A and B are shown apart, each in its own frame.
Chain A
């Protein structure tokens, strides 16, 4: 079975600063994908970034980067130059690539608040 752990229920960051949101995962499967989603108060889940377990380089997407440490089973999200609009819930998720596995398994999320 797979599990995602997000140990930070809430985080504060000042505008224009960088922030790291933690995510650790647990699986014995060698092939999997890791995702980060943003959920603003409107409720929609917005896809931010993806990292495959065999990808050699850490994923980057604009101000978002994923600090992937396979041996530690961690996939932390780094947001650079925070903006007020980044205030939202952030979810880490994983999908196994074995068999017909299709579902995303989500963590409990981290609420990020960007302050002036």
Chain B
């Protein structure tokens, strides 16, 4: 297992279009997280799954954002009707649940809305 995989690495889209990102976590990790990182800031929490259940959502996650994790494996994050303010790096992380092992992050998907 080579870690957390995110696709695509880069996405440029026109304002108003819908985009979908995919995250493949480490296979034995039952917890999956999405974060958003804008320039000069630390990552901000968006949502959290334990297996297939979405247990926590940030208020940052407006109605235009939706995330799924069918069957508790890979996850998708969809943004509908994109806005320029959605331009950011979207990071996915997974974990087994023990903090001492940390959370394993992917390399992220950089979204640019033009």
Contacts and interface: CB of A to CB of B under 8 A. Distances in A.
Interface string A85-116: 00000010101010010111111110000000
Given A33-B99, A108-B40, A109-B42, A102 B56 contact: yes
B23 interface: no
Contact of B107 (A35, A37, A43): A43
Contacts of A33: 99
A76 to B, nearest CB: 17
B105 interface: yes
Interface in B27-82: 31, 33, 35, 40-45, 48, 50, 55-56, 58
Q: How large is the interface on A (under 10, 10 to 19, 20 to 34, 35 or more residues)?
A: 20 to 34
B45 A105 contact: yes
Nearest to B4: A44
Interface string B6-38: 000000000000000000000000010101000
Contacts of A46: 105
A50 B100 contact: yes
Contact of B103 (A43, A47, A107): A47
A104 B103 contact: yes
Interface of A: 4, 33, 35, 37, 42-47, 50, 52, 91, 93, 95, 97, 100, 102-109
Pairs A-B, 3 closest by C-beta atoms? A106-B42, A47-B102, A103-B45
